[in-house]
Chain A
């Protein structure tokens, strides 16, 4: 077997293993879907009225792409916690003692987590449709919108993979990633328009890749108002391109680093 084919076949085996867990632990799915629903309802009805939007925009339409982005980026932290758990339970030792591809455990993990993200984004989109979110673009654009969201989350999964392998305690991985993910998803155009930010924070938010992801989704789902001001920053004028640059950058750095961390991973 060529090494590419071997890596692929091993990755399929590991992906299958990870998805079986999803099937056996229904709580995983329940919480992966309940929390997005909660976020949609919370922001839509609690904050919705209080947030100033550009003229011609409904908060339902503005909000959903932001919720999509935040939820699936948070969903990617699962990757780190799951790998840390595998390490603790000695499974990574077992895998490392097998004549299998050195990257398959990580590929299988990140792909399975992308699968979970697809489920939660589907649930969120359906909930969104109920509370007034609409797709006002072509099918092609809408699909691209979801692809951009999922690609960015996939890249974050690889970052989290490295964190999980280095930190080695699932609870710590969760706490550590919240500290990073919350500011990243809140200091952005996720829930409020950037015009409301103080200037330093605003510059950060404009160049924050999460803002570009959200902006891409809004553009591609047709959730922006023609009356809204054109963004000042290049990153938000070309959000899809800017997002893809980040995706490539994150993968280029963290795929090799995570594989390296895996090769050296010491169990207990």
Chain B
């Protein structure tokens, strides 16, 4: 996918077509200060062309600040920031022609109809009038908004506005799409359909940088993740790598009588990759293992019928909540909801 006919032809030295560059976004040593507060303290990240990066962190971690800098809305204080091979501050206009942005709050004009909103944004991306109208029609169709095309956006539900907002950012077929918390505030059903739209876009080859507080969302949509907290990257990798970083999977047994636990530990120890953890109070044994269901089968075999006291058994994989807890010492949801989203500049001091 290419941005517009216009910028496509202008790309030259340093452009993405030169030298087989494969990273659509390159950020190195990014620093941003708001007064005395350091919002971003040396962030590095890259996003490969055509992939989806999930930028995770609690509110106030600096996610939105990263997005605002990458989309030319905010100037960095230090660091190298390139989008599709273009420097975001020196070649801002060419960057803008190649990107689409959907912010935290649906930025649609309430008084314009859905169609008029898209046509306006299309014209401002410098599409011709006919092309802008054609794209507007296509996108309304694709985002299930055709029926509401001629109604002012004021009458739209939250989910519809968000879809219109994403449609607007796609009108000029951007090569890189920034989605800043695209499902915050949506009901579960709208969230699911939004996920499908985003997954479709990713399949279509659009490079996406997605910020979210929802770990499930990142797990589902992102190829790779970067976790930031207090303006610094605290972890990065695929979901599996991050989970591995917190520890692999565990076998968990809950028994009806804690007295059987020592015996079980004895028998199962050969399967453990690390020391088993016994919680007598909870009558629970947690056994770090590697491998899948076959480990569970093997464990039951080793217990050899001595299972009368077993109340519950399961193979548990860490989810991103565990990752977050392990990395920050805080529970993601809890941290995420306590800050005022308008207090962006307060950033690093914000969270506990």
B-contacting residues of A (Cβ < 8 Å)? 1, 6, 9-10, 13, 16-17, 20-21, 24-25, 89-91, 93-100, 104, 266-268
Q: Mark B93-128, 1 if CB is under 8 A from A, else 0.
A: 110110101011111111110001000110111100
Q: How far is the CA of A203 from the CA of B344 in the complex (A)?
A: 48
- B121 and A99 contacting across the interface, CB-CB below 8 Å: no
- Quote the shortest CB–CB distance from A220 to chain B (angstroms): 36
- B103 and A90 contacting across the interface, CB-CB below 8 Å: yes
- Quote the shortest CB–CB distance from A1 to chain B (angstroms): 7
Listed by A's residue number, 18 A-B pairs whose Cβ atoms lie within 8 Å are: A6-B126, A13-B120, A13-B124, A20-B111, A89-B105, A89-B107, A91-B109, A93-B73, A97-B72, A98-B96, A98-B124, A99-B93, A99-B94, A99-B124, A99-B126, A100-B126, A268-B104, A268-B342
Q: How far is the CA of A268 from the CA of B73 in the complex (A)?
A: 12
The 4 A-B residue pairs with the shortest CB-CB distance in the complex, in nearest-first order: A90-B107, A94-B107, A99-B97, A99-B96
A86, closest chain B residue (CB): B109
Q: How far is the CA of A228 from the CA of B165 in the complex (A)?
A: 61
Q: How far is the CA of A245 from the CA of B93 in the complex (A)?
A: 35
A contact patch SS: helix
Q: Which residues of A contact B152 (CB under 8 A)?
A: 24
- Quote the shortest CB–CB distance from B18 to chain A (angstroms): 21
Within 8 A of A (CB), among B128-175: 152, 168
A17-B112, A20-B112, A268-B342 in contact; A98/B107 too (CB < 8 A)?
A: no
- B111 and A97 contacting across the interface, CB-CB below 8 Å: no
B contact patch SS: loop
- A20 and B168 contacting across the interface, CB-CB below 8 Å: no
B348 in the interface, Cβ–Cβ < 8 Å?
no
Q: Which residues of A contact B105 (CB under 8 A)?
A: 89-90, 268
Within 8 A of A (CB), among B58-76: 71-74
Q: How far is the CA of A52 from the CA of B121 in the complex (A)?
A: 56
Q: Which residues of A contact B342 (CB under 8 A)?
A: 268
Q: Mark B285-327, 1 if CB is under 8 A from A, else 0.
A: 0000000000000000000000000000000000000000000
- Quote the shortest CB–CB distance from B86 to chain A (angstroms): 12
Q: Which residues of A contact B168 (CB under 8 A)?
A: 94
Q: How far is the CA of A21 from the CA of B72 in the complex (A)?
A: 28
Q: How far is the CA of A267 from the CA of B105 in the complex (A)?
A: 11
Q: Which residues of B contact A267 (CB under 8 A)?
A: 73, 103
- A94 and B126 contacting across the interface, CB-CB below 8 Å: no
- A268 and B124 contacting across the interface, CB-CB below 8 Å: no
A-contacting residues of B (Cβ < 8 Å)? 4, 7, 71-74, 93-94, 96-97, 99, 101, 103-112, 116, 120-121, 123-126, 152, 168, 341-342, 344
Q: How far is the CA of A16 from the CA of B111 in the complex (A)?
A: 12
Q: How far is the CA of A89 from the CA of B105 in the complex (A)?
A: 7
- B103 and A94 contacting across the interface, CB-CB below 8 Å: yes
A17-B120, A95-B124, A100-B124 in contact; A90/B106 too (CB < 8 A)?
A: yes
Among B93, B106, B123, max chain A CB count under 10 A is at B123
Q: How far is the CA of A89 from the CA of B124 in the complex (A)?
A: 18
Q: How far is the CA of A104 from the CA of B105 in the complex (A)?
A: 23
Among B94, B103, B341, B342, max chain A CB count under 10 A is at B103
Among A9, A98, A268, max chain B CB count under 10 A is at A98
Q: Which residues of A contact B71 (CB under 8 A)?
A: 97
- Quote the shortest CB–CB distance from B128 to chain A (angstroms): 11
A90-B105, A99-B94, A268-B344 known, 20 other contacts, Cβ within 8 Å: A1-B126, A13-B124, A17-B116, A24-B152, A25-B111, A90-B103, A90-B106, A90-B107, A94-B107, A94-B121, A95-B124, A96-B73, A97-B96, A97-B99, A97-B101, A98-B121, A99-B97, A267-B73, A268-B104, A268-B105
- Quote the shortest CB–CB distance from B9 to chain A (angstroms): 13
Q: How far is the CA of A98 from the CA of B73 in the complex (A)?
A: 10
Q: How far is the CA of A124 from the CA of B44 in the complex (A)?
A: 61
- Quote the shortest CB–CB distance from B240 to chain A (angstroms): 33
B94, closest chain A residue (CB): A99
Q: Which residues of B contact A95 (CB under 8 A)?
A: 124
Q: How far is the CA of A96 from the CA of B99 in the complex (A)?
A: 12
Q: How far is the CA of A93 from the CA of B99 in the complex (A)?
A: 13
Q: How far is the CA of A21 from the CA of B154 in the complex (A)?
A: 11
Q: How far is the CA of A1 from the CA of B104 in the complex (A)?
A: 32
Which of A10, A20, A97, A104 has a CB less than 8 Å from the CB of B73? A97
B342, closest chain A residue (CB): A268
Q: How far is the CA of A166 from the CA of B284 in the complex (A)?
A: 59
A22, closest chain B residue (CB): B111
B95, closest chain A residue (CB): A99
A265, closest chain B residue (CB): B73
- Quote the shortest CB–CB distance from A260 to chain B (angstroms): 13
Q: How far is the CA of A6 from the CA of B123 in the complex (A)?
A: 11
Q: How far is the CA of A73 from the CA of B49 in the complex (A)?
A: 52
Among A89, A91, A266, A267, max chain B CB count under 10 A is at A267
